[in-house]
C-alpha cells in the first residue's frame, strides 16, 4: 500500500468544488485523469494520457510490485511514476489539516521565524476553535491564522483535495498548466503539499 501523497488543494482553506462529478469529467477530458477503478474499497483513478504535462517530476523512486505473496526478492520493479494513482475525496464540512509524519515547524510568513513550540499543541489549539485561533509571532509581533503560516509544503489546510498517491515529499509538483487548468475549472487558486504517513 502506498503511503505518501502529493496533495493539491485550494489556497482558500474554505473553498470547495461545487460539482465534483463535473470536475472529474473535465479532468478526464483534459487528460489529467484516466479511468476509475476500485482501490481498497475507494474510487481511485489512473493517471490520464497527459498526466505528466500537469505534474512535474523532479525525481522518482523504484517500486517493488508485490501481488499475492510473490517473494519480494524476485518481484518486478517499476518506476514510481508508472504506479501513481489519484483520489478526489468529497469535501469535508470544515477545513482539515493535511499533514502526516513529514510535518515540519511552520514559519512566520512575514519575518521567517520558525515556530519553536510543539506542533501538535499548535494544531490542537486551532482544532478547538478553528474560526478564531490566531498565532502571534514572538519576533515580529504579527498575528496570523494557521492557514497563513508557511508550512513549507509539508502540511496544508482545506476542505477539498486532489490526492496523488505514490509521490514522496519533494519528488513532484503541479506544473503551471495544472494550476491554470484547476483555476479555469473551479474559479479559484490551488496550491500543494506533501503528506506522508
Residue 61 or 136 with smaller CB distance to Zn ion: 136
Q: Minimum Å distance from CB 107 to Zn ion?
A: 8
CB of 27 to Zn ion, least distance (A): 38
**Number of helical (H) and strand (E) elements in the chain, helices listed first:** 4, 14
Contacts to Zn ion by CB under 5 A: 108, 110-111, 113, 137, 139-140
Kindly tell me which of 53 and 113 has the beta carbon lying closer to Zn ion.
113
Give the contacts of 171 (CB within 8 A, at least 6 positions apart): 6, 57, 58, 59, 60, 61, 80
Q: 66 vs 140, which CB is nearer to Zn ion?
A: 140
CA distance 77 to 96: 35
Minimum Å gap between C-beta 111 and Zn ion is: 3
Strand (E) or helix (H) holding 184 = helix 176-186
Minimum CB distance to Zn ion, residue 151 (Å):
15
- Kindly tell me which of 78 and 111 has the beta carbon lying closer to Zn ion: 111
- Which residues are registered as beta bridge partners of 191? 9
CA atoms lying within 13 Å on the CB side of residue 138: 4
165 three-state secondary structure: strand
Residue 18 beta carbon to Zn ion: minimum distance, rounded to whole angstroms: 36
Map grid coordinates 506522508 to a residue: 196
**Spatial CB neighbours of 87, under 8 Å, sequence gap ≥ 6:** 39, 42, 43, 44, 45, 162, 163, 165
**Of 149 and 167, which CB lies nearer to Zn ion in the complex structure?**
149
E strand or H helix at 37: strand 33-39
Q: How far is the CB of 137 from Zn ion (least distance, A)?
A: 3
85 or 110, CB closer to Zn ion? 110
Amino acid at each position: 500500500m502506498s503511503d505518501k501523497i502529493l496533495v493539491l488543494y485550494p489556497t482558500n482553506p474554505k473553498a470547495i468544488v461545487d460539482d465534483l462529478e463535473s470536475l472529474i469529467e473535465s479532468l478526464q477530458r483534459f487528460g489529467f485523469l484516466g479511468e476509475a477503478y476500485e482501490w481498497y474499497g475507494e474510487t481511485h483513478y489512473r493517471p490520464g494520457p497527459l498526466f505528466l504535462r500537469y505534474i512535474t517530476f523532479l525525481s522518482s523512486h523504484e517500486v517493488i510490485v508485490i501481488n499475492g505473496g510473490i517473494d519480494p526478492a524476485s518481484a518486478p520493479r517499476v518506476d514510481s511514476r508508472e504506479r501513481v494513482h489519484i483520489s478526489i475525496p468529497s469535501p469535508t464540512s470544515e477545513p482539515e489539516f493535511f499533514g502526516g509524519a513529514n510535518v515540519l515547524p511552520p514559519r512566520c510568513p512575514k519575518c521567517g521565524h520558525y515556530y519553536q513550540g510543539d506542533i501538535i499543541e499548535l494544531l490542537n489549539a486551532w482544532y478547538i476553535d478553528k474560526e478564531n485561533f490566531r498565532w502571534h509571532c514572538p519576533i515580529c509581533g504579527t498575528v496570523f491564522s494557521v492557514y497563513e503560516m508557511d508550512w513549507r509544503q509539508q502540511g496544508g489546510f482545506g476542505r477539498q483535495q486532489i490526492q496523488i498517491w505514490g509521490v514522496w515529499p519533494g519528488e513532484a509538483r503541479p506544473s503551471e498548466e495544472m494550476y491554470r487548468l484547476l483555476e479555469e475549472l473551479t474559479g479559484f487558486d490551488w496550491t500543494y503539499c506533501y503528506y506522508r504517513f
